[in-house]
Chain A
């Protein structure tokens, strides 16, 4: 109830916000106005360029293109100089005499095409100081490819982990912990489709094939109103559209996987496609060395990804994009001797269909229909016995997002979103000698989720810019559903059955978002933000690691939506003509209705029961300060980040109600990411990371019961593992650009000084009691020593 009261008490503020929004229109002068609008594309590939800066020199005003490369600027009649810029591209400058609405589509040329160095002052870089964005970082995929790669695989999630405020989940792991939030609190989007499990191979690789990705955009604070449904962050990944100018084939051979991407125009400048695939081949490489007689012949592991996208320009005002992702991890184990077979496939599938429509040169609409699915399956077979466990989540999602550019002071976004969720908690089926045996009916949980939002990014005065947004969200669990009711000792005593479509529990909520920028001078500004978020779906895990078996489950009558408030304050400053960007950002977060399993919950407890009957609820708190220094221009580029942070949890039913530090509470976190372009052929990269160890819960005492040792656990997360640090190096050689086949080699060394970083710690009871040499010792397992790798890439 606390959260509800809080949001209601804020109501007068909303009214004020809305008044401010409209007051801004009323004050607009009554001079004649015209609109310049259009799309910005990369000249060589025809890819739309999101986030390009369109700047009017005379008024010192600018807008950024939206995610589809569209911009719109409304100005009073007159002569203007328009400049369009994007990092790595030549600045486009045009003088216009604005007397009527104009459509200006612009193709930007890559800087390197010219063949000579051009030093430009990139206005895009002023965004650091001028935009209202807080806690937002974009990383270029091209830059990522020059950095050291783990096993030769460029992994964008691993690069995102190097951003201050983002922590990894352990050695080699692609799990994300953003500003003290849990692993389920990140909204991971691939072309707007939710990716429910973004990890391959227990987290060592992410599901994103860097060849198919265009942009990576992380919001770790100050989440704009068009996003919702998660407390901690949004990782918004856009796939490439495909080269609309010419056919292009890119391929890569790595240590453990190969990649192939084909893209090209279907009809030049009108439609294009891209198909990109990746598969690991350890299993294939190893097979010849496994003897025919080996008892485990046929066992193996592989994963693959397939990304595909087509786009079609229907008219000057309409564009259609259809994109899809399909990926699977497959683990098989065969034991000839015992007739034992295991096959465990898991993975995601997404399909996004998007239609862009321009109602006018000021009003842009994107309509999306999205399907997204995650499945896990475990099949065990032994002679006459078969057993399968399956679980997953599936969404049908519809969205409408409007961008409205009424005048250059305002960018208004509004829209609506509806998702139908289908959750499949752990279900099992089995067969013995051809006879199926009963394991309870398969359980599915259904829910509706909806949202509407409105936001305005506008200049209140020359110095003050505000992003004000309001998001209304609603979540409703519906039948069919069976609720098992418990008595005081936790025994099921009754059940309530809901029929198909029956509403079980509905949560309506309001989420205000406010970000402000106050310019101190042309080089520095102060920004502040306040955001409220609700999260309606959750993961909680009994295990210490994120695993493919982790289940998503919805808010129900027992599980209330997670609620988070974040305050942040930052100082932003650029140096040396914007070549260096620096920021200091502090944040404080409160989280309510956090979810954990009750003490003593056993993995089997979910069968024939409701998972939420085993959950307990508490609050969380996170705070910290992040330092970020970035250089985007010049031969030397990269960043240095440092984070000091704290995050804790308080659950009345856990740890005797005492507050404890979350497992991923890591005090210090530093990363240095640099690339140096020596000449046209050679680029060097280096990464150094240092992070305090994460926490573990270890036994403090032991006692004996029925002659067996029983471990007794003290305070939760009572042990901090040793610190994690690592240094990586890379050298990338790129062949001459004018050849038909362009090739490049990436040589990487992971963990140069072979630091044995903690992966996990386990207890090894050594010796035996009989001979009197018994002792419990702690053993630390480290995974990766120094690992050199080579990757070959080619393009024609």
Chain B
């Protein structure tokens, strides 16, 4: 809520001073050195999928088309391995033009198992990045239901997805919700539907969310109604259990997206579980369910 207050104050500030003006300025800054960026997931019952990319100068010009853009960021010649405590599996680069991520490293030889710890090693840009993650056990969702958005009095068919689950007694459980409508091909994480059990340990928890947040390349235009579900939608969910360090990455990552470019907010430094790189290597297991939105 504090963020909301701050933004209200920002509006006040800017609207009061009608005299204000803005202009573009040139900024020259020393760039940090290139880093490996990892977007890696190993799911219970699935193969590891690791997108390896790099960072770039902030004020640099961007390439003019999407292929060149991917080329600019994605590292295709990295050496990627995953060790499950016994065997080291090499991952190979695959292109995946119809789904996100469009290119990643994977292997069919390794399938994630609950309770196991996986060590990821990536060599690229003359550097080595490593990370460890453990797949926590899944937590079931007790019930799912649809609720009309009471905050908007002009709409009566838009609403949220509500989920109820029982948090286990042990502290240190964290969750991330993925969802899709039946008309969509792929699950995406729902922004804001990430939580840990710091305050809700062992309790019956209800939370609500809007639609999942699609990355660039999958959905490029977004109108406000896209945030809500509509009466009649068939909604499929994957309720993922993740580790605390992985949660901290996603939590700070989402907060950072929220403050990007806000001159009144202090930069949020994203917490990573990668040694020698950026991003996250996340082990997860999930519970899946389906809901048809009715009143």
A positions within 8 Å CB-CB of B: 201-202, 282, 301, 331, 333, 337-339, 342, 344, 378, 380, 382-385, 387, 389, 426, 428, 489-493, 541-545, 547-549, 597, 599-604, 606, 608, 697-714, 718-719, 722, 756, 759-765, 768-770, 772-785, 787
Residues of chain B contacted by A387 (CB below 8 angstroms): 1
List chain A residues, Cβ under 8 A from B5.
Answer: 344, 378, 389, 549
Tell whether B98 is near chain A: CB-to-CB under 8 Å: no
- Are B3's CB and A603's CB within 8 A? yes
State A115–B269 Cα separation when bound (angstroms). 66
Please choose the segment from B77-85, B87-95, B110-118, B215-223 that sits at the chain A interface, where 4 or more of its residues have CB less than 8 A away: B215-223
Interchain residue pairs with CB less than 8 A apart (21): A333-B8, A339-B153, A491-B171, A491-B244, A493-B171, A542-B266, A543-B6, A547-B264, A701-B32, A702-B56, A703-B279, A707-B217, A707-B218, A710-B270, A712-B278, A714-B31, A759-B20, A769-B62, A770-B216, A780-B25, A781-B22
4 shortest interchain CB distances as A-B pairs = A707-B215, A599-B269, A772-B64, A703-B55
User: B189 and A706: CB pair below 8 A?
Assistant: yes
Q: Type the 1/0 row for B236-263, where 1 means its CB is closer than 8 Å to any CB of A.
A: 0000000011001001110111001111
Give the distance in Å from the alpha carbon of A601 to the alpha carbon of B248 in the complex.
Answer: 11
B4 cross-chain contacts in A, Cβ below 8 A: 380
Q: Closest Cβ of chain B: how far from A200's Cβ, in Å?
A: 11
Interface centre among A492, A712, A718 (most CB of B within 10 A): A712
Q: Which residues of B contact A (CB under 8 A)?
A: 1-6, 8-9, 11-13, 16-17, 19-27, 29-32, 35, 37, 39, 53-59, 61-66, 69, 73, 100, 150-154, 171-172, 188-189, 196, 198-199, 213-218, 220, 244-245, 248, 251-253, 255-257, 260-271, 278-279
| Selected contact of B266 from candidates A344, A544, A705, A768, CB within 8 Å | A544
- Which A residues are in CB contact (< 8 Å) with B35? 701, 703, 712
Residues of A within 8 A of B32 (CB): 700-701, 712, 714
Return chain B residues, CB-CB under 8 Å to A787: 19
Q: Please indicate the chain A residues that have their CB under 8 angstroms from the CB of B2 in the complex.
A: 389, 426, 549, 603-604, 606
Cβ-defined partner of B29 (8 Å) among A337, A719, A760: A719
Q: How far is the CA of A597 from the CA of B255 in the complex (A)?
A: 15
Name B8's contact: one of A342, A776, A784 (CB within 8 Å).
A342
Instruction: Name the residue of chain A whose CB is nearest to the CB of B152.
Output: A338
Task: Decide: A779 near B25, CB < 8 A? Known: A602-B252, A708-B215.
Answer: yes
Q: Mostly helix, strand, loop or mixed at chain B's interface?
A: loop
CB distance from A169 to the nearest CB of B (A): 13
Partner of A389 from B1, B214, B260 at Cβ < 8 Å? B1
| A780:B23 contact, CB within 8 angstroms | yes
Q: In the docked arrangement, what's the CA distance between A19 and B193, Å?
A: 69
Residue pair B55, A697 in contact (C-beta under 8 Å): no
B62 near A772 with CB under 8 A, answer yes
| Pairwise interchain contact B17-A489, C-beta atoms closer than 8 A | no
Alpha-carbon gap, A714 to B34, bound state (A) = 12
- Contact check, A201 vs B217: say whether CB atoms are below 8 A apart: no
Q: A783 with B150: in contact, given A705-B39, A708-B257, A774-B62 (CB under 8 Å)?
A: no
Taking a contact as CB atoms closer than 8 A, the residue among A385, A706, A773 that contacts B215 in the complex is A706
Give how many A-B residue pairs fall within 8 Å (CB-CB). 244
Contact B216 A701 (CB under 8 A): no
Instruction: Please give, as numbers and ranges, the residues of chain A lying within 8 Å of B64 by CB-CB distance.
Output: 772-773
Contacts of B265 in A (CB 8 A): 542-544
Residue of B whose beta carbon sits closest to that of A777: B24
- Across the interface, which residues of A come within 8 angstroms of B63, CB to CB? 772
Closest to B38 in A: A705
Rounded to whole angstroms, the CA-CA distance of A770 and B150 in the bound complex is: 35
**B58, B244, B271, B279: the one within 8 Å of A701 (CB):** B58
Q: In the complex, what residues of B have CB within 8 A of residue A773's CB?
A: 64
Q: Which residue of B lies closest to A663 (CB)?
A: B266
| With A333-B11, A701-B35, A702-B55 already in contact, 4 other A-B pairs whose C-beta atoms are closer than 8 Å | A339-B153, A707-B215, A711-B260, A769-B69
Which residues of the other chain, B, contact A608 by a CB distance below 8 angstroms?
A: 199
- Determine the distance from Cα of A385 to Cα of B263 in the docked complex, in whole angstroms: 30
When the two chains form their complex, are residues A491 and B196 in contact, meaning their CB atoms are under 8 A apart? Answer: yes
Which residues on B sit within 8 Å (CB–CB) of A338?
Answer: 151-154
Q: What B residues does A599 contact at CB under 8 A?
A: 269
Q: Which of A344, A385, A602, A783 contacts B268 (CB 8 A)?
A: A602
A777 to B59, CA, bound (A): 7
Q: Which residues of chain A are within 8 angstroms of B255 by Cβ–Cβ distance?
A: 602
B26, B63, B264 pick with most chain A CB within 10 angstroms? B264
Contacts of B20 in A (CB 8 A): 759, 781-784
B27 engages A385 (CB within 8 Å) = no
Q: Which residues of B contact A718 (CB under 8 A)?
A: 29-30
Whole-angstrom CA separation of A451 from B256 in the bound complex: 44
Instruction: Choose among B11, B29, B245, B252 the residue with the greatest number of A CB atoms under 10 Å from its CB.
Output: B29
The residues of A that contact B3 with a CB separation of less than 8 Å are 603-604
Q: Are B23 and A756 in contact (CB under 8 A)?
A: yes
Which residue of the partner chain A has the closest CB to B62?
Answer: A774
Contacts of B24 in A (CB 8 A): 777-780
Q: Min CB distance, B4 to chain A, in Å?
A: 8
Cα distance, A761 to B22, chains bound together (Å): 9
In the complex, chain A residues whose CB is within 8 Å of the CB of B278: 703, 712
Contact A706:B22 (CB < 8 A) given known A331-B12, A775-B62: no
- Residues of chain A within 8 A (CB-CB) of B151 are 338, 382-383, 385
Question: In the complex, which residues of chain A have a beta carbon less than 8 angstroms from the beta carbon of B58?
Answer: 698-702, 711-712, 763, 776
Residue of A at shortest CB range from B219?
A707
Contact B29 A784, beta carbon cutoff 8 Å: no
Min Cβ gap B70→A in Å is: 9
Given that A378-B5, A778-B25 are contacting pairs, would A701 and B55 also be in contact in the complex, using a CB cutoff of 8 Å? yes
Known interface pairs A489-B245, A489-B248, A544-B266; A722-B25 also in contact (CB < 8 Å): yes
Question: How far in angstroms is the closest Cβ of chain A from B6?
Answer: 6
**Chain B residues, CB < 8 A from A389:** 1-2, 5
Query: Considering the chains assembled together, what is the distance between the CA atoms of A781 and B73 in angstroms?
Result: 31
Task: State A780–B23 Cα separation when bound (angstroms).
Answer: 5
Q: Known: A389-B5, A770-B220. Contact between A301 and B16, CB under 8 A? A: yes
> Which residue of chain A lies nearest to B262 when distances are taken between CB atoms in the complex?
A762
B262 contacts which chain A residues (CB < 8 A)?
Answer: 762
Q: How far is the CB of B65 from chain A (nearest CB, A)?
A: 5
Chain A residues with CB under 8 Å of B22's CB are 779-782
Q: Is the CB of B25 within 8 A of A761?
A: yes
The answer to whether A760 touches B39, judged by C-beta atoms less than 8 angstroms apart, is no
Taking a contact as CB atoms closer than 8 A, the residue among B37, B57, B152 that contacts A705 in the complex is B37
CB distance from A260 to the nearest CB of B (A): 24
Contacts of A597 in B (CB 8 A): 266
* Shortest distance between the CB of B24 and any CB in chain A (Å): 5
**What is the minimal beta-carbon distance from A87 to any residue of chain B, in angstroms?**
37
Residue among A382, A707, A719 with the highest chain B CB neighbour number at 10 A: A707
**A761 partner residues in chain B, CB cutoff 8 A:** 25, 27, 263
Interface contact B59-A776, CB-CB below 8 Å: yes
CB <8 Å contact, B21 and A756: yes
Are A282 and B16 in contact, with the CB atoms below 8 A? yes
A715 and B265 alpha carbons, distance in the complex (Å): 17
Contact B244 A489 (CB under 8 A): yes
Cα–Cα distance between A467 and B42 once the two chains are bound (Å): 70
In the docked arrangement, what's the CA distance between A779 and B261, Å? 10
Q: Is the CB of A703 within 8 A of B37?
A: yes
Chain B residues within 8 Å of A781, by CB: 20-22, 263
Chain B nearest CB, measured from A395 CB (Å) = 24
Q: By CB atoms of chain A within 10 A, which of B5, B9, B269 has the most?
A: B5
| Contacts A780-B22, A781-B21 given; does A762 touch B261 at CB 8 Å | yes
Question: Given known contacts A761-B263, A762-B261, A762-B262, is B256 in contact with A710 (CB within 8 Å)?
Answer: yes
Contact B256 A711 (CB under 8 A): yes
Q: Are B9 and A548 in contact (CB under 8 A)?
A: yes
Query: Which partner residue on chain B sits nearest A382 by CB separation?
Result: B151
Question: Which chain B residue has the least Cβ–Cβ distance from A707?
Answer: B215
Is the Cβ of A201 less than 8 Å from the Cβ of B199? Answer: no
A703 to B20, CA, bound (A): 32
Q: In the complex, what residues of B have CB within 8 A of residue A384's CB?
A: 150
